[in-house]
Amino acid sequence: MLSFQGPSGVRACDGINRRELLRIGGLSAAGLSLPQLLKAETALKPERDNGTKKVGTARSVIIFCTNGGTGQTDSFDPKPDAPAEIRGPYKGIDTNVRGVRINEHLPNLAKHADKFSLIRSLHHTDTVHPSALYWTLCGAKIPRQVTPESATMSRDDRPHFGSVAAKHLPNRKDLPPFVMMPVAMGPNGPEWPGQFSGFLGSAVDPYRVNSYAGEPTFNPGAVASDPALSSARLDGRRALLAKVSEQAKYLNDQPVTKSLDPHVAKAFDMIGSPAAQKAFDLSAESPATRDAYGSHTFGQQCLLARRLVESGVRLVQINWPRSNIGGRGGAGYDTHANGFKLIEENLYPATDKAYAALFADLAQRGLLDETLVIFFNEFGRTPKINGNNGRDHWPFCYSLLLGGGGVKGGRIHGASDKAGAYPTDDPVRPEDLLATIYQCLGVDQEIVMYDGLQRPHHLIDGKPIKTLL
């Protein structure tokens, strides 16, 4: 049986007494572990909003989280005239848009600058990975003290913006609305907060692939069907389980349940869905297409992300798996030491090839206008190179890339000072970035969310970046 590895500190449960089902007829042994992915640990609280949903341009989002943060001067904000201890070894190259320059080790991406824009003035004040990630994915500072070694996800936390989209936008019942791969971020201990639905409840948690697409053993997770289980048998088991659930209302004359558990129903919908099986099937792609993205985990995850949004998934998050070549382990983008060697030999070659292929593929298929693509950092790196030939954490000014989904291409928003240390023009907060994403998706930014104690939380305290829309 396939298993589900839930977020650290959060225990997944079926919501149906497994021993009772086993006693009644063995229905819990049907080989379905997907309900564990979908069942809320705590009841999903009713949520109210004070406005109607707005129509947006983007249908889906693909977000690449670098899981460490790129140096702004080493990526999208080169400083060729700065001193060597600031500039580093790079001077940047021209792109296909006049006046837009990026790092010279991103030559393929430079050919698609007309399809994306750069923000060079993002800033906040948190230098710690887990809490900085929470701020940038959830749109507010985390209300508790965390460290990389002790940070965990909590059902008291605010939701990831992908979970908000999953809750408030229409979704296909036979596909997960929010997919995260290959694994959640948290390389030094527990999985970092901000990577699931928090107080919105696990009904809108991300579907976690927990597998590496660049490896021969890639498996799409619990959504994979059992070849021995025909659709007729699956339908029969669903009907029988629904009947048991209905009859369970009268056990001991107590109303135990009203109907088939919705998370179990969702599990059947997805496992029995040809669309879900097709969406996760990388073998359906031609060798030429797979090679265009790169024969490594990151490249194949980008290709899988394209397949998923093409099928109707709302949000796909790709986390760099803290490795040198897109596989397991390693420092990844957290380049405190030997940073330039990592950039030149490992990080940028894979990233450049895959992300350029993603933009080209989406454009060729007519999907770019409805797919927002983001190259995302929780913070940047120190302007000055450290003694280990790397750069440390720096949230006071950093850059990112976004394109498609209603964002204009070939533009630069904001500017940093001569060292890339602080914004000088049009500063942008994480809250503004999320407001922009919500604007693209058509999520009403006046929504009020309610946590488990029925305390109100405004969706976002930010303003969309109008110059990019």
Q: What is the pLDDT of residue 446?
A: 93
Closest to 178 measured CA to CA, from 38, 281, 296, 40: 38
DSSP letter, residue 202: G
Q: From first to last of its 469 residues, what are the pLDDT tens digits of the chain?
A: 233 333 434 433 333 333 333 333 333 333 333 444 344 322 322 333 333 344 568 999 999 999 999 999 999 999 999 999 999 999 999 999 999 999 999 999 999 999 999 999 999 999 999 999 999 999 999 988 887 667 788 999 999 999 999 999 999 888 999 999 998 998 877 889 999 999 999 899 999 998 888 887 788 876 775 555 455 554 555 455 455 455 554 544 554 444 444 555 555 566 657 888 889 999 999 999 999 999 989 999 999 999 999 999 999 999 998 754 555 557 889 999 999 999 999 999 999 999 999 999 999 999 999 999 999 999 999 999 999 999 999 999 999 999 999 999 999 999 999 999 999 999 999 999 999 999 999 999 999 999 999 999 999 999 999 999 9
Sorted by sequence, the CB contacts under 8 Å of residue 289 that are 6+ apart come out as 303, 361
* Structure tokens that stand for 13 in this block: 């449960």
Helix (H) or strand (E) holding 233: helix 231-247
In the chain, where the domains are located: 1-39+226-271, 51-223+285-468
* Structure tokens that stand for 370 in this block: 């409805």
What CA–CA distance (Å, rounded) separates 170 from 344? 42
**Among all chains, which residue has been given the structure tokens 């533009």?**
411
Q: What are phi and psi of 117, to 5 degrees?
A: -125, 165
Tally: H helices and E strands in the chain: 14, 16
* Structure tokens that stand for 438 in this block: 């919500």
Is the CB of residue 38 less than 8 Å from the CB of residue 17? no
Q: b vs e for 247-280, b when ≥16 Cβ sit within 10 Å of the residue's Cβ?
A: ebeeeeeeeeeeebbebbbbbbbbbbbeebbebb
CA 246, distance to chain mean position in Å, is: 37
Amino acid residing at 365: R
Q: What is the pLDDT of residue 343?
A: 96
Q: What is the pLDDT of residue 266?
A: 58
DSSP letter, residue 39: -
CA 364, distance to chain mean position in Å, is: 23
CATH domain 51-223+285-468 topology: Alkaline Phosphatase, subunit A (3.40.720)
* Structure tokens that stand for 182 in this block: 């290959």
Q: What is the pLDDT of residue 48?
A: 32
Is the CB of residue 428 less than 8 Å from the CB of residue 399? no
Is the CB of residue 320 less than 8 Å from the CB of residue 65? yes
Is the CB of residue 112 less than 8 Å from the CB of residue 359? yes
Q: Are strands 371-376 and 398-403 parallel, antiparallel or unpaired?
A: antiparallel
Is the CB of residue 60 less than 8 Å from the CB of residue 314? yes
DSSP letter, residue 188: T
Task: Find residue 60's DSSP bridge partners.
Answer: 371
Q: What is the pLDDT of residue 236?
A: 56
Q: What is the pLDDT of residue 217?
A: 76
Q: What is the pLDDT of residue 240?
A: 54
Is the CB of residue 449 less than 8 Å from the CB of residue 443? no
Helix (H) or strand (E) holding 398: strand 398-403
Q: What is the pLDDT of residue 272?
A: 58
Helix (H) or strand (E) holding 354: helix 348-364
Q: What is the pLDDT of residue 435?
A: 97
